[in-house]
Amino acid sequence: MVQDWINLTFIHWRVNPSSVQSLLPAGLEVDVYDESAWVGLVPFHMRIQVGPVPPLPYATIFPETNVRTYVHGPDGRAGIWFFSLDVPRLAAVIGARAAYGLPYMWSRMSIEQESRRIRYRCRRRWPAQTAVESDITIGIDRDISPADTTDLEFFLTCRWRLYARIASNLVTAPVEHRPWPLARARIINLADTLVRAAGLSQLDDPPLVHYSPGVRARIGLPRPMSH
C-alpha cells in the first residue's frame, strides 16, 4: 500500500520508560533516548494510493491523528507502536483493524491551514469514549537542513517498521520512505485528551514540535513474529 503523509506535525514528550513499558504487549521493549521513552501525538493529512486508481477526495484523502511510542521488537529491530490512530472514515477503520490489527478509531476531524499556521481538530466517535478529542494549532518556523538534524530528531522520526497485534499475535510490517524533511515548529494551542485516553498522563515537560510537508510511504504486509 502506498500512502502520502502530508502537512504532518510531530509533537513529542519525554516520558518515564516504565510507564510506557507497562502499556506494551509481550515481546516489545520500549526504545529510549537520553534514558527516556518518547510519546508522540502526530496529526497530518493522509492520501492513499490504491493501484492505478487516482485518489478520491472522500474515500482516500482525509486527516489522521495518531498517538505512538518507539519500541524494539523481539528481533531487536526498532519500530513504532501505535496506541491509537483516529481517522474520519469508518471503512478505513474497519479495513485497517482487520488487515493490520492497528487500533484505528472513527472520529470527526478537520485540518485548516493559513500560511505557516495549521489547525488540526479531532473528536472521537467510536469506540465511544467521553470527550476524547484534540484541538492543535502550530506555527511553522525555520527549515532544518539534513546536516543539522540532531540524533534525537532522527530517533523520533526515522522509523522503518511498525508493530501491531492481530488477535493475540504480534505482527510487524515494513515502512519505506525517504527521511522526513523537517522544520522547527511551535505550539500556538494544544488541548488534547487522545494521549490521556491511551493511558499516558504524566506529560509535564514542554513538548518538542516539528513540522514536515510530507513523504510518500510504502507499507508492506504484516507478518507474525515469534517471541
Look up the CATH number of the domain holding residue 209. Answer: 2.40.400.10
Q: Name the phi and psi angles at 93, rounded to 5.
A: -60, -50
What is the number of domains present in the chain?
1
Phi, psi of 195 (to 5 degrees): -65, -45
**14-51, pLDDT tens digit by residue?**
999 999 999 999 999 999 999 999 999 999 999 988 76
Residues 219 and 66: their CA atoms lie apart, in Å, by 16
Give the chain's mean pLDDT. 94
Domain that holds residue 191: 2-224
Q: How far apart are CA 136 and CA 148, in angstroms?
A: 27
| Residue 215 in this model has a pLDDT that exceeds 60 | yes
Q: Residue 149: how many CB atoms within 10 A of its CB?
A: 17
pTM, entire model: 0.95
What is the reported pLDDT for 216?
96
- Cell triple for 209: 514540535
Alpha carbons 34 and 180: distance in angstroms, whole number: 22
CA distance 219 to 28: 20
Strands (E), 93-181: 104-114, 117-126, 133-144, 161-166, 169-176
Looking at residue 204, its pLDDT comes to 77
